[in-house]
Structure 1
Amino acid sequence: MNETKIINDPVFGFIKIPSGLLLDIVKHPLMQRLSRIKQLGMASVVYPGAQHTRFLHSLGAYHLMSEAITSLRQKGIFIFESEAEAVQAAILMHDIGHGPFSHVLERTLTSGISHEEISLMMMEQMNREMDGRLTLALKIFKDEYHQRFLHQLISSQLDMDRIDYLCRDSFFTGVNEGNIGSSRIIKMMNVVDDHLVVEEKGIYSVENYLVARRLMYWQVYLHKTTVACEKLLVNTLLRAKHLANEGTELYAPPALHYFIHNHVDRQTFLSDPKALYWYEQLDDNDIWTTVKVWKDHPDRILSMLAGDLLSRQLFRVEISEEPFTEEYVESIKDEIMKHTGVSREDTKFLMHMDSIKKAMYDVHDDHIDILYKDGTLKEVIDASEILHMTHPAKDISKYYLCYKRF
């Protein structure tokens, strides 16, 4: 008997998942793992309501994809049932390769490989387990299918992934500036020459979407306190890896233990099946369990970092529009040495420097094109007066210097 699963989502209401391939994906252990990984990583230190998971985000993106397919079909865009199911399957799995705490661990526990590449490896594994039923979904996901607009619905500057996470993250953080008219954007979508476009009446909704995305990045995703907490976690893990490289045996659950005690890069994933296996076991719980134990580790620096993370004694953060001078950075190292007694070499574990560059619209990516009634197309930054004035394609650079408080 065919049964449709109904999930009550606080953002979009009831989400229906039909039995068959889509429900099999939702029930798969690799999808269920996402229910143990928070969508916004450390942002909950600033916005305590941000407790939602990547699993919930994936369901929301799937729901929006279903709405988009329905809307496009109503406008005469022909989409086979097999294509509809495949693109829904692809958006369900688009985040499956994320590790704990979002992008924090990509350059810490692993190197030279992105979560997108790991997502693809996991999807290919699932496809083998499901006897090839995900083959079309994989083709669309990799942009190898002739109906290219289907890939744009998954990955572009106006895709279901971004629309969901803006709506969802705005809802759970309470940051109203991120709220966008998702329903209207989807209703205004159309396809011209196999390219996703937005009809003229939707231009204001797209303007709001791009402005909201900029506000959410600087107000939530790159909030200085969130960054401070993330860098503290990164340094905790880097110190642990440093100790492991020197021969210290550290406590960690098996999955995390593998990444702490081994150098894992793209070649490792390609040559050693254990890398993907242990990655698939990792979730937020492994990190928190381990940090709680490391708080009492005999290594003073590791203990200090873990204790600060647990008690929310976060790094102090300074933000500049220009790079910090070498003299100033050295003076911070002097202060750290004076207050902690650590060597100059070890001060790197008690501070962190980074630069972040962000534009709300990428002119080198898929364009967001506006479709006028006469059939002409114009790129959104040329069509919109407000976006033309605010230079949405201009990179905004900020330099972060984080260091231990005294």
Structure 2
Amino acid sequence: MSQTNKLKIFNDPIYGFITIPNAFIYDLIQHPYFQRLRRISQMGMSYLVYPGAHHTRFHHALGCMHIMQKAVQTLQFKGVSISVEEEEALYIAILLHDIGHGPFSHAMEHSIVEEVHHEQLSLLFMEQLNREFDGKLDLAIQVFKGVYPRKFMLQLISSQLDMDRMDYLKRDSFYSGVAEGNINSDRLIQMMHVKDDVLVIEEKGIYSVEKFLVARRLMYWQAYLHKTSVVAELILTKILKRAKELSQNGIELPCSVSLQFFMTHKIALSDFDAVTLNNFSHLDDYDIMGAIKAWQFHDDYVLQNLCRMVLNRDLLKIQITEDKQDKSEIQALKNKFMNLASLSEKEADYFVFKGKLKNQAYSKSSAPIYILKKDNSIEDVVEASDQMYLKALSKEVTKYYVCFPKVVLGI
């Protein structure tokens, strides 16, 4: 009987051919937990702004694994000792780093389950896979959790210059068409080294790091925090909030079994037993969009109209300002809409609300990016660079928004 060839290749539009390192990683990719990532969008609702942004977490995870292979090869070539077991652990950890994402990625991170980050769910999935594969993920989990003694390995997976960020900037730039986000990941990887167990960039690669940080800032304001993407994702969370409210008041809403489970239960991290994790593993974008298509015909004014906004891209108006909006102005908008639509204040809260957006391209206090200088010393990139704008990039920028129906302005 012929056996499946597990050393397959993927044809990727960003990197060309991506090879699967070994048969075990092929088995992980084939697992239903990982295949679910084909049905989780990488950029949430950004396709409403950039029509090409329909790529998935599956794309991204494979891309991360590919450039991790390049990084390992580069470091080994420079004399950094990485064993076969450590190498496989790095590939597994980066491949599965996003496996805990729910529908539409970050858009619904705290809507499906209460205050649970996708990294925590990724770890739960990895631990479950470890049980299924008889402990083969032990080392990968240690690296992912940051408890493995060789700290530079965690930096390759989660830091301010990790494989995750390198891939999503390059990939999201490509699929969205936002050219300003494109980075030279090959150059960055070739400049990597390890000094005293710290991942560093050789001094001649400093300009590539500067470009990386600027690209990250531009991608956030131009793509990830684009006002249309922001308001669409906010509406998405409001839809689920309203649906949960109705469900918990005994009103039956048509949706998938897995989505129904999370609509009728308040789930925190401590509630994630095998049954809950299994239900979460069946959730993807299709559950949400299928439900929204059904709910647009529901009798509830709030649910019906919010769903139609997303489906027809007829969204709430969003105004973004440098300063906080006056509470009285927001209340006036709410009162006007309450009168126009004959809604209670609680119902109007779904249509008129405020919040804030934060963006910080680089943080000096959070695992800095170190430059390896010619004298063998290391220095924070902001101090090593002669570009004053890097200091500005390390400051957090906060903007404020208010959302409301266009009808309030007579649009």
TM-score range, shorter chain: over 0.9
Q: 2:319: which partner in 1? A: 318
Q: Is 1:354–2:355 an aligned residue pair?
A: yes
The structural deviation recorded for 1:244 is 1.4
Q: 1:58: which partner in 2? A: 61
Contact persistence 2:75–2:193 (CA under 8 A): yes
Alpha carbons of structure 1 residues 224 and 4: separation in structure 2 relative to 1, 3 Å: same
Q: How does 1:247-266 map to 2 (within 5 A)?
A: 247-266=250-269
Contact persistence 1:231–1:402 (CA under 8 A): no
The structural deviation recorded for 1:390 is 4.7
CA distance in 2, matches of 1:154, 1:114: 17
Task: Determine which of 36, 40, 46 is the counterpart of 2:49.
Answer: 46
The structural deviation recorded for 1:293 is 0.4
Q: 2:383: which partner in 1? A: 382
The structural deviation recorded for 1:112 is 2.2
The structural deviation recorded for 1:264 is 1.3
CA distance in 2, matches of 1:107, 1:88: 28
* Alignment length (residue pairs): 404
The structural deviation recorded for 1:275 is 1.9
Q: 1:286: which partner in 2? A: 287
Q: Is 1:116–2:119 an aligned residue pair?
A: yes
Comparing 62-71 and 103-112, the one that deviates more: 103-112
The structural deviation recorded for 1:3 is 4.3
* TM-score, with structure 1 as normaliser: 0.97
Q: 1:305: which partner in 2? A: 306
Comparing 173-182 and 396-405, the one that deviates more: 396-405
Contact persistence 2:210–2:390 (CA under 8 A): no
Q: Which amino acid aligns with 1:149?
A: F
1:375 aligned counterpart, secondary structure: coil
Q: Which amino acid aligns with 2:204?
A: K
Q: Is 1:67–2:70 an aligned residue pair?
A: yes
Contact persistence 1:207–1:387 (CA under 8 A): no
2:277 aligned counterpart, secondary structure: helix
CA distance in 2, matches of 1:387, 1:83: 39
Q: How does 1:236-247 map to 2 (within 5 A)?
A: 236-247=239-250
What RMSD, in angstroms, separates the aligned Cα atoms of the two structures? 1.2
The structural deviation recorded for 1:351 is 2.5
The structural deviation recorded for 1:389 is 5.7
Comparing 92-101 and 323-332, the one that deviates more: 323-332
Task: Determine which of 79, 99, 102 is the counterpart of 2:102.
Answer: 99
Contact persistence 1:40–1:101 (CA under 8 A): yes
Q: Which amino acid aligns with 1:238?
A: K
Q: Which amino acid aligns with 1:44?
A: Y
Structure 1, unaligned runs of 5 or more: none
Contact persistence 1:321–1:399 (CA under 8 A): yes
CA distance in 2, matches of 1:267, 1:223: 34
Q: 1:340: which partner in 2? A: 341
Q: 1:158: which partner in 2? A: 161
1:57 aligned counterpart, secondary structure: helix
Q: 2:21: which partner in 1? A: 18
Q: Alpha-carbon deviations, 1:82-123, whole Å to 9, x = none?
A: 100110110000000000011222222211211110110000
Q: How does 1:171-210 map to 2 (within 5 A)?
A: 171-210=174-213
CA distance in 2, matches of 1:387, 1:53: 36
Q: 1:328: which partner in 2? A: 329
Q: Which amino acid aligns with 1:195?
A: V
Contact persistence 2:330–2:352 (CA under 8 A): no
Q: Which amino acid aligns with 2:103?
A: P
Contact persistence 1:253–1:286 (CA under 8 A): yes
CA distance in 2, matches of 1:77, 1:236: 50
1:157 aligned counterpart, secondary structure: coil
Q: Is 1:82–2:88 an aligned residue pair?
A: no
2:315 aligned counterpart, secondary structure: coil
Q: Which amino acid aligns with 1:256?
A: L
Contact persistence 1:313–1:405 (CA under 8 A): no
CA distance in 1, matches of 2:247, 2:21: 47
CA distance in 1, matches of 2:389, 2:198: 23
The structural deviation recorded for 1:20 is 1.9
CA distance in 2, matches of 1:388, 1:287: 41
Q: 2:138: which partner in 1? A: 135
Structure 2, unaligned runs of 5 or more: none
Task: Determine which of 21, 24, 35 is the counterpart of 1:32.
Answer: 35
